[in-house]
Amino acid sequence: DGGITQSPKYLFRKEGQNVTLSCEQNLNHDAMYWYRQDPGQGLRLIYYSQIVNDFQKGDIAEGYSVSREKKESFPLTVTSAQKNPTAFYLCASSKPVGVATYEQYFGPGTRLTVT
Amino acid sequence: AQSVTQLDSHVSVSEGTPVLLRCNYSSSYSPSLFWYVQHPNKGLQLLLKYTSAATLVKGINGFEAEFKKSETSFHLTKPSAHMSDAAEYFCVVSDPSGSGNTGKLIFGQGTTLQVKP
């Protein structure tokens, strides 16, 4: 089955530690995205990548870093510089469905709790 | 700049009654619009999309939405609610001119649908 996997589903870390969230897709999509979801705030874009070895900051990139060494993988590192890291993190990939229009597919998410 | 507003943060209906989730958008160009559903602690699933074809769009699980350019709206409806419809719903806009062909989407704040037995 094609899809997007995120691991782990739940992650617990101590404050001050960096943590890396995994995102893998086998849909052969070029573009991938990371979102953060907080209650009542919808989804906010952290980083996105349109092609291997290239990525751009989204709306809330501070305190996060990414890499895109392979088409299938787009890991997100939450660094100790992120002031409020506890959140639900969603990874997505997209395919074109029209002229300059893309449809995004989402993974199941990782819930990160930092104490 | 493009934006999307979901007019209700919470909607409660009884099982078997119609569902209406309201969404207005703002776009400087001809937008593509989507509705996604999210069940608790799950990822988002695409319900339906409008990409400048028919203005009445049918999606999965009996949902449909109508694109009304004059009202800048894209409301989601279902004739008869089922208990399994209880979830968070997101209205989403993609504006090619604003996103620079990056595939970026703009999400509404979400509407929580409660279905009472």
pLDDT tens digit at each of 115 positions of chain A: 569 999 999 999 999 999 999 999 999 999 999 999 998 778 999 999 999 999 999 999 999 999 999 999 999 999 998 999 999 999 999 988 776 678 899 999 999 999 9
CB contacts of A88 in chain B (<8 Å) are: 41
Between CA A78 and CA A66 the distance in angstroms is 9
- Exposed e or buried b per residue across A32-69, where buried means at least 16 C-beta atoms within 10 angstroms of its C-beta: bbbbbbeeeebbebbbbbbeeeebeebeebeebbbebe
pLDDT at B30: 76
Tokens of A98: 């029209």
- Which of these, A62, A93, A91, A100, lies nearest to A78 by C-alpha position? A62
Between CA A71 and CA A79 the distance in angstroms is 23
Tokens of A20: 């890396």
Q: Would you say how long chain A is, in residues? A: 115
CB contact under 8 A, B44 and A106: yes
Nearest to A90 among B43, B104, B110 (CB): B43
State the smallest CA–CA distance between residue A40 and chain B in angstroms: 6
Average pLDDT of the residues of chain B: 90
Nearest to A42 among B49, B104, B107 (CB): B107
Summarize the confidence of residues B3-8 as an average pLDDT: 94
- pLDDT bucket at B101, cuts 50 / 70 / 90: low
Q: For chain A, say whether B39 makes contact (Cβ under 8 Å).
A: no
Between CA B78 and CA B19 the distance in angstroms is 5
pLDDT at B102: 67
Q: Which helix H or strand E contains B98, and what residues bound it?
A: helix B96-99
State the smallest CA–CA distance between residue A30 and chain B in angstroms: 11
- Indicate whether B52 pLDDT > 90: no
- Which of these, A84, A23, A58, lies nearest to B107 by C-alpha position? A58
pLDDT at A1: 59
- pLDDT bucket at B100, cuts 50 / 70 / 90: low
CB contact under 8 A, A43 and B90: yes
pLDDT at B27: 79
Average pLDDT of the residues of chain A: 92
State the smallest CA–CA distance between residue A11 and chain B in angstroms: 13
Nearest to B41 among A94, A103, A109 (CB): A109
Q: Which SS3 state, helix, strand or coil, does residue A33 take?
A: strand
Q: Which helix H or strand E contains B97, and what residues bound it?
A: helix B96-99
Summarize the confidence of residues B73-93 as an average pLDDT: 96
pLDDT at B72: 93
pLDDT at B31: 82
CB contacts of A58 in chain B (<8 Å) are: 104
CB contacts of A94 in chain B (<8 Å) are: 103
pLDDT at A41: 77
